Structure 1
């Protein structure tokens, strides 16, 4: 059966936002087109990696001779979006694998999010494990989110995402662990005092 595709070719809005307090936040990739609203839960690290990779792709495209796709170096002022997530935030699925691509025919960044696929370990018969005899089984996802955005929107999306990721708990400069309160106790490696 073909997966349910939540497609957004030119969304009215695409953002990463959070629900909850720092240290307990849930990250969401949210797209809206008209009345269609889809929110996909992400890990903080997925959000950061997505923003970083989008910036890399945009910088590579901008560096091409003559910048043929008119990729902006900075976020266009009219595309800045600092508003909270649209309500209601209802998790469509939790993202497992994500894909990022470039469509030169439309000059758009393409973002794909696939749900986590859970496999019951009891259903697997591993017996004597011989890596050469393992059959790879491709599992078709039940749904997927596919969003296509122009380069200016992609630059604004990446900037906002980096800001949202960075708005969490401050990092201790000594032990590099997030600080939950003013009563933070460093967990320094042996030999450091």
Structure 2
């Protein structure tokens, strides 16, 4: 059965955002082109690693001798996006992801695949019109400026979580914190 690919090439918007309060946030990778919006849930750590690796790819491209691509070292001001997520309807929860560079189009490429848990009966697949399960994935191709802006916003969203206790290094919850400083 063919995979349902939610493909976005040069999307109008691609962001990481959250729903919920710090300590109980759900992270989403949301992509929109026109009226087509796809939101996939992912872990905070996946979000942070995605931003880190995108910056690494872009930073490497800058150092390549004879590089014909104009890669920004910072976020172009016109690409800054601090708006909240749009209406969130979770397409799937992300398991495996891949990240790459397509030199033919000068795009950073993100692929996200759903978690599959066959033993629990949750295949992470959607249903087609006949009720049969259809494997799906998200494919995003974005230019270098948008990728740099995406990475910056993602780091800011990840860092906007609960404050860290200066004594023990653990997150401080809104309803209090029992600190157990490390032994010296």
Higher alpha-carbon deviation: 34-43 or 67-76: 67-76
Give deviations 1:74-102, integer Å, cap 9, x for gaps. Answer: 00010000000012x00000000000010
**Which residue in 2 is equivalent to 1:119?**
118
**Pair 182,37 (structure 1): closer, same or farther in 2 beyond 3 Å:** closer
DSSP-derived class of the 2:180 partner: coil
Please state whether the residue corresponding to 2:118 is helix, strand or coil: coil
Offset of residue 5 of structure 1: 0.2
TM-score by length of 2: 0.89
Query: After the TM superposition, which of the residue ranges 169-178 and 31-40 deviates more from structure 2?
Result: 169-178
Corresponding residue of 1:108: 107
SS of alignment partner, residue 173 of structure 1 = coil
- Superposed CA deviations along residues 90-116 of structure 1, whole A, max 9, x for unmatched, are 000000000001000000000000000
Q: 1:187 offset after TM fit, Å?
A: 2.6
* Match among 168, 173, 178 for residue 161 of structure 2: 168
Q: Does 1:149 align with 2:121?
A: no
Q: Report the Cα offset of residue 172 of structure 1.
A: 1.2
Aligned twin of 1:96 = 95
Q: How far apart are 1:183 and its partner, in Å?
A: 3.5
List structure 1 segments (4+ residues) > 6 angstroms apart after TM superposition.
none
- Structure of greater Rg: 1
The aligned runs of 1:1-193 (5 Å cut-off) are: 1-87=1-87, 89-120=88-119, 142-181=135-174, 183-189=176-182, 191-192=183-184
Unaligned runs of 5+ in 2: 122-133
Matching residue of 1:130: none
Normalising by structure 1, we get a TM-score of: 0.85
